[in-house]
């Protein structure tokens, strides 16, 4: 009985750690299976439109491509908070659904993205759907979210959250598809 409970607990933890949302309702493509390279990192760094939270002066930029309606992205938001004093996170919204596009635009246009994202994710994780969508969207921000979505697809990735960074100690480009607990995220980024 104890062994069965341990096995179930480990399976639940693994499912949570690997959780991701896909635009196609198909299982996510593991990041290791995609051709993520230094060139991919440079492309994201040059063209992604997002908002920055965390250690603004950090040389280590961590890109997180996310959909505002993805609960796994909300989980990653929460587990990344303890690392905000060590790492500069650039949260890059994509829009997989009609509801997520205006929410992504609202997050990009927020006067205080940290507060807006925290309130949005708290609402989303509580099952309340996240922030209210604005009645109108600035066309340039709507286009930026659509470009971010195309960028994600061009990387060969079709699910979020997708993390792309350079390991702090080795400089190697690292990536992950799905939410991670804080310790696993710190290890991926080399800040553990």
CATH of residue 143: 3.40.30.10
Residue 36's pLDDT band, with cuts at 50, 70 and 90, is: confident
Computed over every residue of the chain, the mean pLDDT equals 85
SS percent in the chain: helix, strand, coil, step 5? 45, 15, 40
Full-prediction pTM beyond 0.95? no
Residue 107's pLDDT band, with cuts at 50, 70 and 90, is: very high
Write down how long the chain is: 192
Average pLDDT estimate for 112-125: 93
Residue 17's pLDDT band, with cuts at 50, 70 and 90, is: very low
The tally of domains found in the chain comes to 1
**pLDDT in the model for residue 13:** 37
Percent of the chain at pLDDT exceeding 90: 71
Q: Say if residue 93's pLDDT is above 90.
A: yes
Strands 61-66 and 162-166: antiparallel
> Domain range spanning residue 45?
2-189
């Amino acid at each position: 009985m104890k062994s069965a409970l341990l096995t179930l607990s480990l399976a639940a933890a693994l499912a949570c750690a690997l959780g991701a949302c896909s635009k196609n309702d198909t299982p996510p493509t593991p990041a290791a299976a995609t051709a993520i390279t230094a060139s991919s990192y440079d492309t994201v760094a040059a063209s992604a439109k997002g908002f920055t939270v965390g250690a603004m002066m950090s040389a280590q930029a961590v890109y997180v491509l996310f959909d505002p309606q993805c609960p796994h992205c909300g989980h990653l938001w929460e587990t990344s908070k303890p690392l905000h004093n060590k790492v500069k996170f650039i949260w890059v919204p994509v829009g997989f659904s009609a509801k997520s596009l205006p929410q992504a635009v609202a997050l990009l246009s927020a006067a205080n993205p940290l507060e807006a994202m925290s309130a949005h994710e708290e609402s989303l994780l509580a099952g309340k759907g996240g922030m209210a969508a604005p009645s109108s969207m600035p066309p340039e921000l709507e286009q930026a979210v659509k470009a971010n979505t195309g960028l994600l697809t061009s990387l060969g990735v079709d699910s979020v959250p997708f993390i792309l960074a350079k390991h702090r100690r080795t400089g190697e480009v690292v990536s992950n598809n799905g939410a991670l607990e804080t310790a696993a995220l710190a290890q991926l980024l080399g800040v553990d």
